[in-house]
């Protein structure tokens, strides 16, 4: 099975409590449980990681180049200003799919700019937790199917 990293950035540990009118009522644990099942059905071995720290996210991205075929990343607010995360994505040379629960283009102006998008293979936003499922399909397509 190909390992894939599913990463979540700041404040996503508060899903289910935090602004449910924007982010929904699902918790990060329930989303991860759903993704674990779906990823395994597709032949992936998912690895889950969440950090509120920019450095923690960067360190895990660096590690992923050694043990993962691809990354699904919801960088939260770091999406809009972290050039350090952007550089880490560029450095690892494995496909990264950017994900957002909400439609960032229909929200505050600052959320419409992603500094990481140009170094990601693609961006999926606005479909709630299903954005992550769509990212699984995208990685499967990018990796040419996940059959070893």
Active site residue 23: yes
Q: Which of 80, 100, 130, 132 is catalytic?
A: 100
Phi, psi of 145 (to 5 degrees): 85, 150
100 is catalytic: yes
The edge-to-edge listing of strands for the beta sheet with 70-74 is 44-50, 2-8, 70-74, 96-100, 122-125
Residues 6+ positions from 86 with CB-CB distance below 8 Å: 115, 116, 118, 119
Catalytic positions: 23, 100
């Amino acid at each position: 099975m190909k390992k894939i990293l599913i990463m979540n950035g700041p404040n996503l540990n508060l899903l289910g409590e935090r602004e449910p009118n924007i982010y929904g009522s699902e918790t990060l644990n329930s989303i991860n449980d759903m993704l674990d099942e779906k990823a395994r059905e597709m032949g992936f071995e998912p690895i889950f990681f969440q950090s509120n720290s920019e450095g923690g996210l960067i360190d895990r991205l660096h590690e992923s180049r050694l043990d993962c075929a691809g990354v699904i990343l919801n960088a939260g607010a770091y999406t809009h200003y972290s050039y350090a995360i952007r550089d880490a994505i560029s450095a690892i040379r494995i496909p990264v799919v950017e994900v957002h629960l909400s439609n960032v283009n229909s929200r505050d102006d600052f959320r419409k700019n992603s500094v990481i998008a140009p170094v990601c293979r693609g961006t999926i936003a606005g479909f709630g937790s299903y954005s992550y499922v769509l990212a699984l399909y995208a990685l499967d397509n990018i990796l040419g199917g996940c059959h070893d």
